[in-house]
Structure 1
Amino acid sequence: MPPRTLLITNDFPPRRGGIETFCYELARRMPGAEGGGVVVYTSCTDGLEEAERDFDRRQPFPVVRDSSHMLLPTRRVAHRAAGLLERYGCERVLIGSAAPLGLLAGGLRDAGARRIIAMSHGHEVWWARVPGARLALRRIGEKVDVLTYLGDFTRDEIGRALRSTDRERMARLTPGVDPRAFTAGGDGTPVREKYGLGDGPVILCACRLVPRKGVDTLIRAMSWVRRWLPDARLVVVGQGPDERRLRELAAWTGVSDEVVFAGSHGHDEMPSFYAAANVFAMPCRTRKAGLEAEGLGIVYLEAAASGLPALVGSSGGAPDTVRHGETGFVVDGREPRSVANKLHRLLSAPDQAQAMGQRGREMVAKEWTWDLTAQRLEELFRAA
C-alpha cells in the first residue's frame, strides 16, 4: 500500500473553478486513490449540500466535509486536520492553496506528517506584496517542504517573500488537461442549436465573471467584429458578480444580439462548448496595482486541447499557456480594438486558425496533461 495523503482544500467539486479541477484531478490520480490512498478534508458550500453528498458518495476515497464554508488555519481546523491525519494513517499532506492553509503545516508536522507540499495558484502574489500577509507567506515557506508555483511569474513574485533557503525548495507544478475529454472534432451542434448560433463563427469565453477576466473588453471588441463578420457571436460561459454590468455593457454598446450569456456549466459539459467554437478568448488583465493577476488559466489549455486557437491576456502567468503566433496570441486586455483585430484575423482565416489549434493540441499533449502533473507531484513527495 503506498503512503496515504491528506488533501486539505477549500476548492473541491462539485464547486466549479480552475483550482477545484486542479485539486480533484490530482486527488483521483494519487497512488492508491481507488483504495482510499487519499483523504480529502474540505469545506461545504451553501446551497450545494445535496450535490456535495451525492458527489462525495461516488468517490473511491473518503471526502470529509467541514461544517464551515471556508477552512481557515484556526485551532479547531488544525485539531481536526491532525485528527484525520492520525485516523487514516496519512504520512503526506497536500495543501490545496498555500495561503492561508499552509499555516497549518507546523501542527501537521507535529501530528506526524512526514512530507508537506503546499500549492500556489496565483493569489499568493498579493500575499507577497502586502506587509502583514507577506510575513504569513514567509512563515508558510519555512514550514512546508515544498511550495509550488505555476510559472516564472508566480515563482518570482512569491519568492521575494521567502528566505533564500526556502526559495530554493520551491518547485513548479502546473495544471493540465485530459486530452481524451477535451479533443478536437467534437460535436458542437447541440450547443449551437440551443443558443441559436447558426453556422456563423463563434468566439467562446469561459470564466468567473469578474473584472480581471476581461469579458468587458470582448464585448467592446464585438462592436468592430460584427461590422466585419455580421454573423459572429460571442458565447460567455460562467457566472459571477460582474454579470449585471456586463449585460448592461452589451446593451449599451448595441451588441446584445451578438453576445450570449450561457450561465454556469459543469466541467463535463464544457467539451461541447469548445466544440461549438472557432476561437477561445479570455483577455485577462492585471488590476489593483499588480495585486490582482491571472495565475495561469486552465481554460486556455482546455481550448488548446480542443483544437482552438486562443487569445490570452497578458496578465501574470497566462501567457505561459500559448505560443504567441503559433497556437494563438497574447493580447492586451485593455485594448478592445487590438483584441477585435486579432479575432478578425483568426475568424476570417479558418485554415490558419485550424492550424494554430492543431499545434495547440500537440503542445498540450506533450507538456500539459494531468498525468504529467500527477507524476510530477509524486516526484516531489518522494524527493525527501
Structure 2
Amino acid sequence: MTNRLFVSVDFPPIKGGIQNYLYGIISNLNPSETVVLTSDVGDRDENKHFDESQKFTIYRTKISSGISFLKQLFKLIPLLFQIKRIIKQHNIEEVHFGNALPIGLLVFLLGNRVRTYAYLYGLDISHAKLSPVKSRILKLILKKTKKVITISNYTKDLIISIGIDNKKIKIISPGFSMPELLDSKNNIRDEYGISKDKKIVLTVARLHERKGHDKVIEAIELALEENKKIFYVICGKGPYEKTLKKQVKNKQLDRYILFTGEVSNEELISWYKEADVFIMTSRQIGEKGDVEGFGIVFLEANYFGIPVIGGNSGGMPDAIRDGKTGFLVDPLNVNEIADKLISLTTSVKLRNEIGREGHKWVISECSWQQRIKLLESM
C-alpha cells in the first residue's frame, strides 16, 4: 500500500496529451491511495462535475501554465503549504509532479519524509534547453527526485542529454484504455458518399505542420497512380487546415481526400472500423524540438486491427513495432511513404497479417494495467 499525491497543472476535464496521460495512470491506481492537486482553471461547474464523478480525491488550486514563468514561481509558496497539508491529511508517501517545471522546484522544500518523482514528455525538455536558466533548474530538480518518469526512448535520450543518469529514468509510455462501448455510425461511408470498394487511409490528428499531413497528401498523389481505390480521410482541426486544403485543391485531389473536421467519439470509432490503413508521419519542426513524444493514436488504430504507418521521428518508434504492427518511414521521404501506402492498400494478406499483430500487441502489452505495473515496480 502506497499513498500517492499527484501535483499537476495539466489535468482533465481540460483536454490534452499530458492530461490524458496523467489521467490514464491515476485512474488505474487504487483510488483510496490516490490524491490529485491540480489547477482550478476552466469552467467551475465542469470541473466540479468531473471531480465528483471520480473515485479518487481531487483538490483544485490557483496554479496555471497560462502565465509567465516568473509569476508561476511566486505561486509556489502557497502551493507548498497545500501540498504539506494534503501529505499530513492523507499520510502521503510519494509526491508525483506531473509537470517538472516550475512546480517541481518544491522537491527541495518537502524534506525526506516523502519520495518525489518528476514527469517529462518531450516539448517541456526541448523548451527548457533553450534557456540556460531553465535548463539548469530542470537539471537540479531531476537530480533531487528519486525517479524521472518519461514516455519514450526519445524523451529519455533528451533527459540524458542534460546530464541525468540513465539509471534514474523510467519509461512509462502512454497506455491504451480498452473501450467499453463501441457505438458507431453504421452508415459513415454513405454519409460521406464513399463507395465500399474504396480503401480508406485514415489520419486522426490536430492539423499542425508537425503532424505531416502535407507529406501524406503528396504521397497519396503518387500512390493513386498505382491504386485509384485509395481514399484519404483526415479527422481533426487546427492552424494548418487552410494550407492543407489549398494543397489538396491545387493538386486536384478533392475527389480522393476528405476533411471531416473534429469528430465525436461515435464517428471516430466508425472511421476506425472502416479504415484499411492508419497514417501519421509526424516530424520534428525547427530547432525548438517540436516533435511527437509518442503517438497514442497508433495504439488506437492497432486495437481496431488497422496496420499503421508512422514517421521515424521522436517517440513514435516506441508506438510502432516496425514491420510487425506497422511501418516506420522517413517522414520527409514522399516516395517511401507512397510505397508503404501502395503495399498496404493493395495486399489484403499483408494488411490482415499486420493488423492482427497490432491488435494482439495492444491487448497483451499496451494497456494501462501494464503501464501501472511499471509504476508500482519502482
| TM-score normalised per structure 1 | 0.85
Q: Percent identity?
A: 27
The aligned residue for residue 270 of structure 2 is 272
Cα pair distance change 1:195/1:50, threshold 3 Å:
farther
The aligned residue for residue 236 of structure 2 is 238
- Provide the C-alpha distance between the structure 1 equivalents of 2:209 and 2:203, rounded to a whole number of angstroms: 13
Cα pair distance change 1:328/1:14, threshold 3 Å:
same
The aligned residue for residue 52 of structure 1 is 47
Cα pair distance change 1:127/1:290, threshold 3 Å:
closer
Which digits, 9 at most, give the CA deviation of each residue in 1:79-136, with x for residues without a partner?
43444434444322222233443223223x24x7612222222224414643333212
- Provide the C-alpha distance between the structure 1 equivalents of 2:181 and 2:339, rounded to a whole number of angstroms: 27
- Provide the C-alpha distance between the structure 1 equivalents of 2:321 and 2:255, rounded to a whole number of angstroms: 33
2:351 is paired with a residue of what secondary structure? helix
| Matched residues, number | 369
The aligned residue for residue 9 of structure 1 is 8
Cα pair distance change 1:128/1:15, threshold 3 Å:
closer
- Provide the C-alpha distance between the structure 1 equivalents of 2:121 and 2:19, rounded to a whole number of angstroms: 11
- Are the equivalent residues in 2 in contact too, given 1:10–1:42 (CA < 8 A)? yes
- Provide the C-alpha distance between the structure 2 equivalents of 1:126 and 1:252, rounded to a whole number of angstroms: 35
The aligned residue for residue 361 of structure 1 is 359
Cα pair distance change 1:210/1:114, threshold 3 Å:
same
Cα pair distance change 1:336/1:66, threshold 3 Å:
farther
1:256 is paired with a residue of what secondary structure? coil
RMSD: 2.8
- Are the equivalent residues in 2 in contact too, given 1:137–1:162 (CA < 8 A)? no
Q: Does 1:198 align with 2:199?
A: no
Cα pair distance change 1:68/1:154, threshold 3 Å:
closer
The aligned residue for residue 41 of structure 1 is 37
- Provide the C-alpha distance between the structure 2 equivalents of 1:372 and 1:59, rounded to a whole number of angstroms: 21
The aligned residue for residue 318 of structure 2 is 320
More displaced stretch, 292-301 vs 89-98:
89-98
The aligned residue for residue 114 of structure 2 is 114
Q: Does 1:97 align with 2:99?
A: yes
| TM-score normalised per structure 2 | 0.86
Q: Which aligned pairs between 1:160-179 and structure 2 lie closer than 5 A?
A: 160-164=161-165, 167-179=166-178
- Provide the C-alpha distance between the structure 1 equivalents of 2:136 and 2:356, rounded to a whole number of angstroms: 45
Give 2:36's aligned amino acid: V
Q: State the 1:209 CA deviation.
A: 2.3
2:93 is paired with a residue of what secondary structure? strand
Give 1:57's aligned amino acid: E
Cα pair distance change 1:290/1:136, threshold 3 Å:
same
Q: State the 1:343 CA deviation.
A: 1.0
Cα pair distance change 1:306/1:16, threshold 3 Å:
farther
Which digits, 9 at most, give the CA deviation of each residue in 1:265-284, with x for residues without a partner?
46676433321211110001
Q: Which aligned pairs between 1:154-303 and structure 2 lie closer than 5 A?
A: 154-164=155-165, 167-179=166-178, 189-199=186-196, 200-265=198-263, 270-289=268-287, 291-303=289-301
Q: State the 1:309 CA deviation.
A: 0.8
Point out where structure 1 has 5 or more consecutive residues left out of the alignment.
none
- Provide the C-alpha distance between the structure 1 equivalents of 2:11 and 2:143, rounded to a whole number of angstroms: 26
The aligned residue for residue 126 of structure 1 is 126
The aligned residue for residue 345 of structure 1 is 343
Give 1:161's aligned amino acid: I
